[in-house]
Chains A and B, each alone.
Chain A
Amino acid sequence: MRSPPTTIAASLPEVGDAVPTWPAMLDTLLFRAGFNTSVVVAGTTLLGLAAGVVGLLALLRKRSLMADALGHATLPGIAIVFLAASALGASGRSMPLLLAGAAASGIAGMLAVQAILRFTRLREDAAIAIVLSVSFAIGVVLLSIVQATAPAGAAGIHHLIYGQTAAMRAADAIAMGAIAALSLLAARLFLKEFALVAFDEPFARSEGWPIGVVDLAMMSLVVVVTVVGLQAVGLILVVAMLIIPAAAARFWTERLSTLLWLSAGFGAAGGYLGAVVSALLPRKPAGAVIVLVAGSIFAASMLLAPSRGLLAAAARRGRLRLRIAAEHVLESAFEAWRRDRRSPIVDAAALAEIARERGWTAWMRIAVRAWLRAAGFATRDAAGIKLTAKGLVRGAAVSRNHRLWEQYLVSHADLAPSHVDWSVDQVEHVLSPELVASLEGQLRERGIEVPRLQLRPGEPA
C-alpha cells in the first residue's frame, strides 16, 4: 500500500529554488507567467468561486459535512470504473470516465445518508460518519486490488485523492468557469426559495414548497463541484474549499445576498492566491496552499469581522466592563457629594476602596480613570479625580436607576432586599411611567430620596 510520496507532489512548473522576484510575482498575478500557469490560476480561481457559492448553500442548510461524506464516497466509484475499464480492455485512465464513476458513487453515498436517516434512528452525524468511513474503506480495498493488478493505474487514482493542480488544461479551466457561472446563476435566481427552506423548513413545507427538489438541486451542485474539484485539489481538500470560504463569510454579514458574494469572493481569492503562491514557490502542492490561504481568510475573518469577530466581541465586553466600572465610581462620588455637599472629589483612598470592593486590577483602575476623563465625567485633581457637572448628572442618573431597580425587585419580584443589586438597564426603558412614579413613592416612604431624572448641572438633588 506504499507509493512513493512524490505522487502527491502536485507542484506547478518550478521557477527555481530561490525566493521569487517581484517581477515574477507580478507576472503570475497578472496571468503573464506563461499559458500553463495562467490556465491553472484561472481554473482554481473559478473553482474557488463555485465552491464558495455552493458551500454557502450547504452551510446555510447545515449540511457542510455532507460534502465531506460525498467527497470520500467518490473513491469506490473511481476504483470500480478503473477496474471495469481495465477488465474490458479499455484504458482505466480516461478522466471523464473516472469522474463519471466518482459522481455516481458520490450520489450513491448521499442517498445512503438519506436512507440511514429515513429508515433507522441514527442521527445525521452518525449517518455521515458511517457513509464516509465505509465507502472510503470500500475504495481503499478496491484500490489495493488496483495496486496489485495494475500498479501504474494506481498512481493516476492517487491524483484524485490528493489532487494534481498542475495537470489542469484549458478545457478543464473552461469547464470550471461554466460550473462557476451555473452555480452563481442558480444561487442568485433561487436564493429566496433556498433561504426559506434553509431557515424555516416546517413553514416552507406547510406552504407547499418542494423541499426535496430544492435539496436535490443543492446537493447536485455540491456533487458537481466536488467531482470537478477532485482533479484539482483532491477529494479531501475539496471539502475544505466547500466549507471554509462560506464559514469565513458568515462572520461578516447577516444579509443573505452579501453573504453569497462574500463567500464566492473568498473562495475565488483562496483559489487565485493559492495557485499563484504555489506557482512561485517550488514543491508546494497547490491544493494544500489553496486551502491554507482560505484558512488564513477564515482566521482573519474570525478575528477581525466587525460584529461577530473575536476582537470586536472582546472590545464590546471591555467597553461594557469599563462603563459599568466607571458608573460605580460616578455613583459613589455622587452619593458622597449629596451627603456632605463638598466638592465632588474622589480621592485616591476612595478609589482604592472601590477598586478593592469590585476586585479591579491595577490596569482596570488606570483604565477607569482614563475613561472617566476621556468621557468628560471627571477632571484630574490634586487628590485624585474631580467630577465635572456632567459627571454629577450621570452619577445622579445611575444612583436613581439603582434605587428604583432595587425597589422594583423588592416590591414586584419577591426578592429579599439583601439579594438585590442594580442592573445596567435604565429603569425608564423597561418599566411604565406609572410604575416608576409608584416606585418613587414607595422609596420616599422608606425615607430614601431618589435623585430626579432631569438634574441640571450644579443644582442640588
Chain B
Amino acid sequence: MMRLELALDLFPLAAATLAAATCGLLGNFLLLRRMSLMGDAISHSVLPGLVVAFLVTGTRSPLAMFAGAAIAGLATVLLIEAIRRHGRVEPGAAMGVVFSLFFALGVLLIERASARQVDLDPDCVLHGQLETLVWYGAPKEWSEILAWDTLAAAPATLWTLVGVGMASALFVAILFKELRLAAFDPALATAQGFSAGLLHAMLMGFVAAATVASFEAVGSILVVAMLVCPAATARMLTDRLSSQVWMSVAIAIASAWLGYLAATAVPAAFGLDSVNAAGSIAVVSGLLLAVAAMAGPEHGVVVRVLRRRRFARSIACEDLLAALYRAREAGRDEVDLAAASALLAPARATDAIRRAEQRGWIARRADRLTLTDAGIVESASLVRRHRLWETYLVEEAGLAPDHVHDTAEKLEHAPIDIDLDAATDPQGKRIPRGE
C-alpha cells in the first residue's frame, strides 16, 4: 500500500534526512553549552536577510537567498553576544530581543516586497515546504538515480545541504576532542593552547550555516526541533558524549523517515490528504524524545520509578527484620502481626512481610512472626550496621548520643565498612558481630 514515488518523494526525503542529520549532529554541542535556543533565534532572524536579498537582487535564486540568510544569521549570533556581554543582559533576554526584532523587521520588509506583487511568504520560512521539492524529470526507476545527468538536475538546495552537512561532519570529526573539552571546561581548553572562544565561534558559524541551508527545504520549525530533540533523546540513552553524537544522528535520520512517512504515505494509504511533512518530522522527533525520557535505560522515568520502588520495598523489609531482632533482644521471640505492621508504612507492611517470608527470613504462625535462623543472621547484620553508624556519628561526627538514632535509622540501609572496634553503641546496646 505505502509506496514512495520517486519524483515526489526522493528529494524531500533526501533534504529532510540531510537537514535532520546535520542539525542533530551540531545540536549535541549546543545542548552541552546550554544554547539550544540558538537555533530558534537564528531561524527567526533569517527572515529579513531573505527579504533584503530578494529586494537587492530581485530574484529568488538560491544563492542570493543563502547569502542573505547567512548574513542575517551571523549578525544575529554577533548581536546576541554583543548585547549579552556589553549590555550585561541575561542570555535568554538577549536572544529574545534580537530574534524578535529581526523577525519584526522581516515582516515589515515583506510588506514592501509584496507591494511589488511578489510572492514571498513568511509561512514557508516558518513551516517549510518540503513537498514543493518535486523532481521534474525524475527517472522512472530507482536504479537510475545515480546517473550523473539525473543528479545534476537536483535542486541547489539539496547540494547546499550536502555541502554544509559534510563540512559539519568533518568539523565535528576533526575537532571532537577539542569541542568536548571546550564545552565541559573552557578555561582548561584555553590553558591547553586552543581558544575555546574561537571554537565556540566556529560552532556558531556551523549552526548558522546548517540553519540557513536547512530552513529553505524544511522550514525553521524543523531546524529548531532537530537542533535539540535528537541530541536530547540521545542524552536520555547514554552518558558518553561520543555515543550520544552517533545516536543523535541516527535518531535524527529515523525521525526524518518516520515523520515523512507519517505525513505522506500513511494518510495516502487511508485515502486522506497528506499533512505538513516538516511539522510531522518535528512531532516524531518529539515523540521519540518522550519515549526515551520515559523508557531510557538509566535515567528513564519508568526505570527511576521502579528503582525507587524497589529500594523502598527493600527498606521496609529491612525495617521489619530490625524490629523483630530488637524484640528478640528484649526477650520476645514472637511478634504480633498487627504490632509488626504498625511499625511500617501502611502501604508497605503487607508487601514487606511477604517478601521477608519468601526469602526465608521470617516464619509466620497464625498471626505471630518469628525470625528464622537465616533471618537472625540477616537482621543481626542490619542492627550491627545501625549501631555502628550510631557509634560513628557520636565518635567521629561529634553528635550527641541522644540525637543519632533517627539518622542511623536512615543510614543503616547503607553499608558501613569502617572498623570502629566497638562492642556497644552509644546507648550501651551490644553491637552484634558480623556474620
**What residues of chain A lie closer than 8 Å to B129, measured between beta carbons?**
1-2
Task: Report which of B105, B232, B282, B293 forms a contact with A288, defined as CB distance below 8 A.
Answer: B105
Query: How far is A243 from B286 in the complex, measured between Cα atoms in Å?
Result: 27
Selected from B36, B112, B131, the residue in CB contact (under 8 A) with A1 is B131
Q: Is the CB of A134 within 8 A of B229?
A: yes
- Which residues on the A side are within 8 Å of B103 (C-beta)? 236-237, 240, 291
**Mask: chain B, 86-127; 1 = CB below 8 Å from A; 0 = not:** 111110111111001101110110111111000111111011
Q: Is the CB of A310 within 8 A of B87?
A: yes
Partner of A287, one of B89, B107, B273, B276: B107
CA distance A145 to B272 in the complex (A): 10
Interface flags for B298-334 (1: CB within 8 Å of A; 0: not) read: 0101000000000000000000000000000000000
How far, in whole Å, are A121 and B300 apart by their CA atoms in the complex?
A: 10
How far does the alpha carbon of A126 sit from the alpha carbon of B218 in the complex, in Å? 21
Interface assignment of A175: CB less than 8 Å from any CB of chain B? no
In the complex, which of the residues A132, A240, A287, A291 contacts B40, with contact meaning CB atoms closer than 8 Å? A132
Interface hub of A125, A143, A236, A295 (most chain B Cβ within 10 A): A125
Q: A229 CB to closest chain B CB, in angstroms?
A: 12
What residues of chain B lie closer than 8 Å to A289, measured between beta carbons? 104, 108
Count of chain B residues near A, Cβ 8 A: 71
With most chain A CB atoms within 10 A of its CB, the pick from B131, B273, B279 is B279
In the complex, A266 Cα to B94 Cα: how many Å? 17
Is B101 a contact partner of A292 (Cβ separation < 8 A)? yes
- 11 pairs of residues in contact across A and B, judged by CB atoms under 8 Å: A3-B123, A65-B37, A68-B96, A125-B37, A125-B92, A129-B224, A137-B221, A236-B103, A295-B101, A295-B104, A313-B86
**B44 engages A236 (CB within 8 Å):** yes
The CA-CA distance from A32 to B101 in the complex, in Å, is 30
Q: Shortest distance in angstroms between B106's beta carbon and chain A's nearest beta carbon?
A: 8
**Top 6 A-B pairs, shortest CB-CB distance:** A240-B100, A134-B286, A137-B282, A140-B279, A291-B104, A133-B225
Q: Enumerate chain A residues within 8 angstroms of B123, measured Cβ to Cβ.
A: 1-3, 158
In the bound complex, CA of A136 to CA of B281 (Å): 12
Q: How far is the CB of B279 from chain A (nearest CB, A)?
A: 3
Rounded to whole angstroms, the CA-CA distance of A136 and B282 in the bound complex is 9
A134–B227 alpha-carbon span in the complex (Å) = 12
Give per-residue flags for A259-290: 1 if the beta carbon is below 8 A from chain B beta carbons, else 0.
00000000000000000000000011101110
On whether the beta carbons of B282 and A8 are closer than 8 Å, the reply is no
Tell me if A97 counts as interface (CB < 8 A to partner B): no
Known: A162-B122, A284-B111. A137 touches B279 (CB 8 A): yes
8 Å CB interface, A102-153 against B: 116, 119-126, 128-130, 132-134, 136-141, 143-145, 148
Listed in ascending order, the chain B residues whose CB lies under 8 Å from chain A are 31, 34-37, 39-40, 44, 83, 86-90, 92-97, 100-101, 103-105, 107-108, 110-115, 119-124, 126-129, 131, 219, 221-222, 224-225, 227-229, 232, 235-236, 263, 273, 275-276, 278-283, 285-286, 289, 293, 299, 301
**Which one of A245-253, A319-327, A412-420, A427-435 is at the interface?**
A245-253
Given A134-B286, A138-B283: A240 in contact with B96 (beta carbons within 8 A): yes
Cα–Cα, bound, A268→B30 (Å): 36
**Beta-carbon contact of A130 and B92 below 8 Å:** no
Interface string of A340-375 (1 = CB under 8 A from B): 000000000000000000000000000000000000
| B121 contacts A2, C-beta separation under 8 Å | yes
A82 shortest CB reach to chain B, Å:
15
Q: Across the interface, do A145 and B275 meet the contact criterion of CB distance under 8 Å?
A: yes
Number of residue pairs spanning A and B whose beta carbons lie under 8 angstroms apart: 222
Knowing A116-B293, A130-B232, A136-B221 are in contact, say whether A123-B285 is a contact too (CB < 8 A).
no
C-alpha spacing A65/B83, complex, angstroms: 16
- Check B88 against A308 for contact (C-beta < 8 Å): yes
Residues of B within 8 A of A138 (CB): 279, 283, 286
Chain A residues with CB below 8 A from B289, complex form: 130, 134
Report whether B88 and A126 are in contact in the complex, using a CB–CB cutoff of 8 Å.
no
A141 touches B122 (CB 8 A): no
CA of A8 to CA of B90 in the docked complex: distance in angstroms? Answer: 32
B87, A251: Cβ atoms closer than 8 Å: yes
Q: How far is the CB of A60 from chain B (nearest CB, A)?
A: 9
A292 to B102, CA, bound (A): 9
Residues of chain B with a CB closer than 8 A to A120's CB: 232, 236, 293, 299, 301
Q: Are B280 and A141 in contact (CB under 8 A)?
A: yes
| B90 to A, closest residue via Cβ | A62
Alpha-carbon separation in the docked complex, A116 to B128 (Å): 27
- Indicate whether A160 reaches chain B with its CB closer than 8 angstroms: no
- A246: which B residues are within 8 A, CB to CB? 93
Among A140, A158, A250, the residue within 8 A (CB) of B276 is A140
CB-nearest residue of chain A relative to B279?
A140
Of B35, B228, B280, B293, which one neighbours A133 at CB under 8 angstroms? B228
By a CB distance below 8 angstroms, the chain A residues around B37 are 65, 68, 125, 128-129, 132
Residues in A neighbouring B95, C-beta threshold 8 A = 65
Q: Which residues of A contact B34 (CB under 8 A)?
A: 123-126
Cross-interface CB contact of A140 among B101, B122, B278, cutoff 8 Å:
B278
* B96 and A141 contacting across the interface, CB-CB below 8 Å: no
* CB of A128, distance to nearest CB on chain B (Å): 6
Query: Which chain A residues numbered 131 to 187 have a C-beta less than 8 Å away from chain B?
Result: 132-134, 136-141, 143-145, 148, 158, 161-162
Contacts A65-B96, A120-B293 given; does A134 touch B225 at CB 8 Å: yes
Closest to A248 in B: B97
Within the assembled complex, what's the spacing in Å between the Cα atoms of A399 and B299? 64
Among residues 216 to 248 in chain A, which have CB atoms less than 8 Å away from a CB atom of chain B? Answer: 236-237, 239-240, 243-244, 246-247
Known contacts being A9-B111, A137-B282, A237-B100, is A119 close to B92, with CB within 8 Å? no
List chain B residues, Cβ under 8 A from A236. Answer: 44, 100, 103
Q: Please, what's the 1-or-0 string for A62-88, where 1 marks a CB less than 8 Å from any CB in chain B? A: 111101100000000000000000000
Given A8-B122, A295-B101, A302-B87, are A137 and B283 neighbors across the interface (CB < 8 Å)? yes
Contact for A137 among B124, B222, B299, B301, CB less than 8 A: B222
Contact A64/B90 with A125-B36, A133-B221 known, Cβ cut-off 8 Å: yes
Interface string of A40-77 (1 = CB under 8 A from B): 00000000000000000001001111011000000000
Contact A133 B111, CB 8 Å, known A126-B36, A243-B96? no
A401 at the interface (CB under 8 A from B): no
From A3, A134, A140, A143, give the contact of B121 (CB < 8 A). A3
Q: Which residue of A lies closest to B296 (CB)?
A: A120
Q: Which residues of A contact B92 (CB under 8 A)?
A: 62-65, 125
Chain B nearest Cβ from A65, distance in angstroms: 4
Question: Which one of A68, A128, A285 has the greatest number of beta carbons of chain B within 10 Å?
Answer: A68
Instruction: Tell me the smallest distance from the CB of B86 to a CB of chain A, in Å.
Output: 6
CB proximity of B85 to chain A, nearest CB, Å = 11
User: What's the minimum C-beta distance from B108 to chain A, rounded to whole angstroms?
Assistant: 4
B286 contacts which chain A residues (CB < 8 A)? 130, 133-134, 137-138
Task: Report whether B280 and A8 are in contact in the complex, using a CB–CB cutoff of 8 Å.
Answer: no
Nearest-CB distance from B72 to chain A (Å)?
Answer: 15
Using A140-B127, A141-B280 as known contacts, list a sample of 13 further A-B pairs with CB atoms less than 8 Å apart, ordered by residue number in A: A65-B96, A68-B40, A121-B299, A125-B92, A126-B36, A130-B289, A133-B222, A140-B282, A141-B263, A247-B89, A247-B94, A250-B89, A251-B87
Can you name the residue of chain B whose Cβ is closest to the Cβ of A149? B273
| A291 / chain B contacts, CB cutoff of 8 Å | 100-101, 103-104
Residues in B with CB closer than 8 Å to A126 are: 31, 34, 36, 228, 232
B206, chain A: closest CB distance, angstroms: 17
| A62 CA / B123 CA spacing, docked (Å) | 30
